[in-house]
Amino acid sequence: METTAAVVIGSGFGGLAAAKRLARSGVTTTLISATDEHLFQPLLYQVATGVLPGSDIAPPIAAVLSGKKSVDVVRGYVTAVDAEAKVVTYRTPEGDRQIQYGSLIVAAGARQGYFGHDEWAQRTFSLKTLDDAVTLRRHLHDCFTGDPADEAAHRFVVVGAGATGVELAGQIAELGARHFTDVEPDVYLVEGAGDVLPVYGGALSDFTRTTLEKAGVQVLTGTMVTDIDDAGRVRVRDADGREQTITAATVVWSAGVQATGLAKVIAEATGCRTDRAGRLLINPDLTAGSRDDVFAIGDMTSLNGYPGQSPVAMQQGRHAADIVRGKTKPGTAFVYRDKGSMAVVNRHNAVVDAPGGVRLTGLPGWFTWLAVHLFYLVGFRNRFVAVASWFKAFAGRQRPGFDGLDARPGAAPAEPSLADRPAEQPSAEQPSAERSSAEHPSGEDRSGEPRRAHPVS
């Protein structure tokens, strides 16, 4: 059996932050990841709408951790944890393997939640993984280049007006206005709360709604989805009880999250309680249940109402790692330092809620968003290519992410290049290591509403 001082499960922002901090003290660490890439999830909607190729936001984990000689990266799906024996079992293509640890940091993230209607997962698109984005991109391309007389093909419903829903709805509208101009898209944005970007509220939500409506998006707030059938009929009911049916070839769900299967494994291994969404109710020092050697961080956890955002996960990852490496006293409570949040509305428009009451909208907010996300893209090549793609898409009318897809109406899209092809994902039922999208700047808050926070930690 392999042995190591620390095991980190998950290659999202939280897992990577923990591994990097452990490497500072030369702590022998094994990072187990379900994918080979670290996914920069806040830009998934740009992959889905052709702004960026998928490879630009998914650098190899090995490259991200290059130079960290004490960190070993392995690909596998964690299937069991024996907290008493301090053993993690994980599945690889070559078979099951086990590793014994001194300390365990789990950052297994979250997956899409459907509020008790899991059947809707098969009837809608989600945007949690690179595979999701590539699948949606192909579908959007087919819809826009298909039969102009097919009204349903040019009608799009986005459920959930958090950051992901707002950004996606805005970009789909722009596809019709600036890239595929033969048919104007009919875009609906459905939100159960009374505002878009409800966690912002006030002037920022008002600006967002006005900007989307000017772009042609039909914003339905205070409106609940009551049914989605196999024919693409979305039934909604507003606060006054009025019902409406929208028939669309594209329904994207971005309205809620729940913990991955690994949260249940950790709960059973440590005696940690969980909430209704399956998230671990961790201790103030980030330990799980009765164990002082098992830490859980990020979207899979619930603590003090902290939002499910990458800054929380990164700060938690460093806090847990500092306890493991002896730089912070065991039992020290974690305290989150909020550094603000932001969301793009559409080209040249974004909203920023920064500390100190600083609020930006429009072009100043958009340039702030560009600067922050460019800074946190991993690797020089990713930054350089992203700038080139953004210039083509936002200053011009190109969509580099659609390159290689056959633009002829009715033609099947070409296969993406190997660099743009997503890694194999674990099944939804299988307890797994954290998908690399788990802790992310576009994470969900604890009410299930998406909230975008820039990844400043």
What's the pLDDT band for 223 if we cut at 50, 70, 90?
very high
> Measured between alpha carbons, how far is 360 from 258 in angstroms, rounded to an integer?
31
| 234-293 per-position pLDDT tens digit | 999 999 999 999 999 999 999 888 888 999 999 999 999 999 889 999 999 999 999 999
Q: What is the mean pLDDT of residues 119-144?
A: 94
Residue type, position 331, single letter: G
End-to-end Cα distance, the chain: 36
Asked whether the beta carbons of 48 and 42 are under 8 A apart, the reply is no
Residue 414: what pLDDT? 41
pTM of the prediction?
0.83
Render pLDDT for 47-70 as a digit per residue (tens, 0 to 9).
999 998 888 888 889 888 988 999
201 compared with 4, residue with greater pLDDT:
4
pLDDT-based confidence at residue 38 (cuts at 50, 70, 90)? confident
Tell me what the mean pLDDT of segment 183-198 comes to: 94
The vertex-445 CA angle with 444 and 451, nearest 5°, equals 65
How many CA atoms lie within 13 Å of 115's alpha carbon, on the beta-carbon side? 15
Higher-confidence residue: 405 or 260?
Answer: 260
178: nearest Cα among 9, 370, 393:
393
- Could you read off the pLDDT of 78-116 as tens digits, one per residue? 999 999 999 999 999 999 999 999 999 999 888 888 988
Phi/psi at 96 (nearest 5 deg)?
-75, 140
C-alpha distance from residue 358 to each of 93, 340, 342, 365, 413 (Å)? 50, 9, 11, 11, 45
Query: Are 434 and 247 spatial neighbours (Cβ–Cβ below 8 Å)?
Result: no
429 is catalytic: no
Three-class secondary structure assignment of 145-168: HCCCCCCHHHEEEEECCCHHHHHH
- What six digits make up the tokens of 432? 């797994």
Q: In what order do the strands lie in the sheet with 349-354?
A: 341-346, 349-354, 358-361
Q: Is 9 helix (H, G, I), strand (E, B) or coil?
A: strand
Please tell me the distance from the alpha carbon of residue 400 to that of residue 305, in angstroms, as a whole number: 39
Rounded Cα distance between 379 and 359, Å, is 29
Q: Which of the following is catalytic: 94, 119, 151, 167?
A: 167
Q: Answer yes or no: is pLDDT of 453 > 60.
A: no
d(CA 107, CA 436) in angstroms, rounded, equals: 10
Q: Is residue 220 scored above 60 in pLDDT?
A: yes
Parallel, antiparallel, or unpaired: how do β-strands 223-228 and 233-238 relate?
A: antiparallel
Distance of CA 386 to the CA centre of its chain: 18
Task: Please count the other Cβ atoms lying within 10 Å of the Cβ belonging to residue 354.
Answer: 17
Average pLDDT of 10-22? 95
Convert the pLDDT of each residue in 287-338 to its tens digit. Answer: 999 999 999 999 999 999 888 888 899 999 999 999 999 999 999 999 999 8
Mean pLDDT of 416-424: 39
Confidence of residue 378 (pLDDT cuts 50, 70, 90): low
Q: Which pLDDT score, from 0 to 100, does residue 411 have?
A: 42
104 and 81 Cβ atoms separated by less than 8 Å: yes
Predicted confidence (pLDDT) per residue in 148-166, tens digit: 899 999 999 999 999 999 9
- Specify the pLDDT at position 450: 35
**105 three-class SS:** strand
Mean pLDDT of the chain: 86
